[in-house]
Amino acid sequence: MAKFDMAEVVEAFRREWEKHKMQVEQYKPPVYKCQNCKDTGFLDLYPSDPRRASGGKVGTVMYCPYCRANTLRGISGLIAEYRQLDIKKFPWETYERDVTKLKQTVESFVYDFQRWKDEGVGLYIYSEARGSGKTMVANAICGSICTKYNIPVRFSKVEDFLDDIKKSYDGKEKGILTGVNVRKYFDAELLVIDDLGVSKINDWGKDRLHELINERYKTGRLCIITSNFRPEQLPIHAPTIDRINDMCLAIHFPEEPIRSQKTLTRKNRLMQYVRSYDTFTDCDKAPFKGETHE
Ligand SMILES: Nc1ncnc2c1ncn2[C@@H]1O[C@H](COP(=O)(O)OP(=O)(O)OP(=O)(O)O)[C@@H](O)[C@H]1O
Ligand SMILES: [Mg+2]
Ligand SMILES: [Zn+2]
């Protein structure tokens, strides 16, 4: 039997290791966007138990709900500015009016969504005042529901819906099946129709809107509608209003034009700054410097 010099074996191993030492020092562990699933999109419920709780008979791998919530938010059409907004972070304190009941209703809609769904009741958020936060709250509700229940929601303006429908009609004539594109409005578990009644809808549009509302009504899918009109004053078909009345709880948002109040504060701040100087010099930084595209 050959004899080994153990000291030499160890030394050889050390020399080998020295060769890789530099690479090891430079190695940076990957940075994951999602710490829960390490960006695989899946979670193993029993990662440390190779025999699994069910003896390997039932799959214990699930979609990573954290990633899925982000993906769902990403494809829901939420306004970019409000994409991370959560109902918990909604600034109710901005309003001068007492909004306790309003807050309670909105929070209940998010936290007891299943109950509202079973009852088939959505929300109709209206205020005559422009910029009172209707769109903002609808985004917050939508985002929270997306994250909390991992369900697909859709946020859209009426015009987007009608544009998509129009495209699908044009498409059919050319033999292209674009109808799939409009199913998202019909099939989403929760649909937000933003600013209903703001732009004029022609008769064709009113018919299409009726089809949408009617199908969602029949299938018990919820809607959140925001508008500057009281429900009964909406400039759409009477039967559509009737269905909206039945499937949505009307909530009157404070008649406080937060947008113009914010604008005023901003402009006042700027004017204060302007008035605080007697003379002006050119800014030292040239605007758009280095952004030329040659
Ligand atoms: N509660 C609030 N706290 C702080 N800012 C708010 C609040 N509500 C609304 N805003 C701000 O006011 C602006 C207008 O809000 P939003 O678009 O939601 O109003 P709106 O009621 O949908 O308006 P419109 O009637 O024109 O559709 C936004 O820039 C938003 O950031
Ligand atoms: Mg709005
Ligand atoms: Zn994940």
- Say which CATH number the domain at 206 has: 3.40.50.300
Ligand nearest the Cα of residue 92 is 1
Query: pLDDT tier at 51 (50, 70, 90 boundaries)?
Result: low
- Name the residue with the closest Cα to ligand 1, atom 29: 259
Mean pLDDT of 180-190: 85
How many domains are there within the chain? 1
The answer to whether residue 180 is domain-embedded is yes
126 in Cβ contact with 227 (< 8 Å): yes
The answer to whether residue 275 is domain-embedded is no
Ligand nearest the Cα of residue 228 is 1
Tens-digit pLDDT profile for residues 234-281: 999 999 999 999 999 999 999 998 888 888 999 999 999 888 888 777
Mean pLDDT of 74-95: 88
Residue to substitute in 259, 260, 265 for testing ligand 1 pocket (most ligand atoms within 8 angstroms of CB) = 259
The per-residue pLDDT for 294 is 43
Ligand 1 atom nearest to 258, measured from its CA: 12
Q: Quick count: other Cβ atoms within 10 Å of Cβ 245?
A: 14
The answer to whether residue 265 is domain-embedded is no
Q: Give the span between the Cα atoms of 124 and 51, in whole angstroms.
A: 51
DSSP string, 44-86: ES-TT-TT-TTTTSS--EEE-HHHHHHHHHHHTT--GGGTT--
134 ligand 1 Cβ < 6 A: yes
Ligand nearest the Cα of residue 36 is 3
Distance, CA 30 to ligand 1 centroid (Å)? 40
The answer to whether residue 137 is domain-embedded is yes
**What is the value of pTM for the model shown?**
0.78
Ligand 1 atom nearest to 93, measured from its CA: 1
Structural domain containing residue 205: 80-258
The answer to whether residue 154 is domain-embedded is yes
Tens-digit pLDDT profile for residues 163-177: 888 887 765 555 455
Strand arrangement, sheet containing 222-227: 153-157, 190-196, 222-227, 122-126, 248-252
- Name the residue with the closest Cα to ligand 1, atom 16: 133
Mean pLDDT of the chain: 86
Q: Does residue 226 sit in helix, strand or coil?
A: strand
The answer to whether residue 202 is domain-embedded is yes
218 in Cβ contact with 180 (< 8 Å): no
Residue to substitute in 135, 155, 196, 266 for testing ligand 1 pocket (most ligand atoms within 8 angstroms of CB) = 135
The answer to whether residue 60 is domain-embedded is no
The answer to whether residue 37 is domain-embedded is no
Strands 42-44 and 61-63: antiparallel
